[in-house]
Amino acid sequence: MSLAEPDVVRNLESRQPTAYLLASVRGFGQVDLQASLWTGAFIVAGLWTAGWRIGLFATLGTLVATASAYALGVDRSGIALGLQGYCGCLTGIALVTSLGYHPATYVLTVVGAIMCTLLMAALTTVLKPYGLTPLTAPFCLVSGVMALGAPSFDRIWHGAPKPVSSATGGDTGISWDDLWHAFFSNVSQVFLVDTWYVGLIMLVGLAFAGVRVVLYAAAGSVVGILAAWALGAPTALIADGIYGYNAVLVAIAVGAVFLTGTVWNGAYAVFGAAATTGLTAALTSFFTSFGGHTFTWPFILTTWVLMAAVPLLPRLNRSG
């Protein structure tokens, strides 16, 4: 996702035997499209703060996915920047939160992380002619299929909680307490965690990736809150970050990573953040109808559409 100069990549690759561990830490940061080592470290800290099971399975998924990429001979520069670990990270979290803590969850996390590496290669090949990247699609596909199929297997399914529906009714009024909780929870919910102080830790980590990155993350969170409130979403879901996490990712991706820092590009990113909030509700209702999970599909689809349109929109400029 995020790029680095060739000499930086060579420097990372020269740090054997720590290269694997550094690549894994960067993998955590790449969930938010950032290769900063400090960003990854703060996100790791946030995940373990959320609970040892979340931290453990996030770490397991990242380590296995990164190791799989090394074993399969994937381009070392991409591995060094953490581009092979982030989907494994999310897969580990999704499986333990969807299926619960059981021996089978360890096995599925390992298998899922390996599958993420394979799907990353496949989707990169398919999307390259269109100038698009897989983003978190490997995670969504692997985790979605595993979570959906789990109830058919007694050794895997243990009556885990059902996914949250965006159609849940409730109070649509919003207080200051709801607002600030939502602001930080939107950041943590990217990792399927609805704890505000975890989001605060992660937001601090994003600041190490640059002012532009943390500002767009904050802007995406605010836009997600405003759009959800304007549409009349239940306050409880807004406060838990259910409606805003995709907006955070879209704002970072479009505003701080894939496009240059112009006014038009910034407006485009903000528009995308608002649009993906509505898409989150639609896709959540769709997936809930058959027991599926929304995960980061709204972010993926919105970003793909926005970036696919850029070549025919002269006022917008790609970075790099």
Q: 143-190: per-residue pLDDT in tens?
A: 999 988 866 665 555 555 554 554 555 666 678 899 999 999 999 999
Q: How far is the C-alpha of 45 from the C-alpha of 59, rounded, in Å?
A: 11
For range 264-269, the mean pLDDT: 97
pLDDT in tens, 45-92: 999 999 999 999 999 999 999 999 999 999 999 999 999 999 999 999
Percent of the chain with pLDDT over 70: 88
Contacts of 203 (CB under 8 A, 6+ apart): 184, 187, 214, 217, 218
pTM: 0.92
For range 234-248, the mean pLDDT: 95
Q: How far is the C-alpha of 221 from the C-alpha of 184, rounded, in Å?
A: 8
Q: Which residues of 281-299 are buried (b: 16+ CB within 10 A; e: fewer)?
A: bebbeebbeeebbbbbbbb
Q: What is the pLDDT of residue 147?
A: 86
Indicate where the chain has its CATH 1.10.3430.10 domain(s): 1-160, 162-320
Q: How far is the C-alpha of 80 from the C-alpha of 100, rounded, in Å?
A: 31
Q: How far is the C-alpha of 28 from the C-alpha of 61, rounded, in Å?
A: 10
CATH 1.10.3430.10 fits 162-320, yes or no: yes
Q: Which structure tokens are listed for 115?
A: 């599958």
For residue 181, the number of C-alpha atoms closer than 13 Å in the C-beta half-sphere is 15
Q: Which structure tokens are listed for 67?
A: 């190791």
Class of the domain covering 1-160: mainly alpha
Q: Is the pLDDT of residue 122 over 90?
A: yes
Q: Which structure tokens are listed for 171?
A: 């109070």
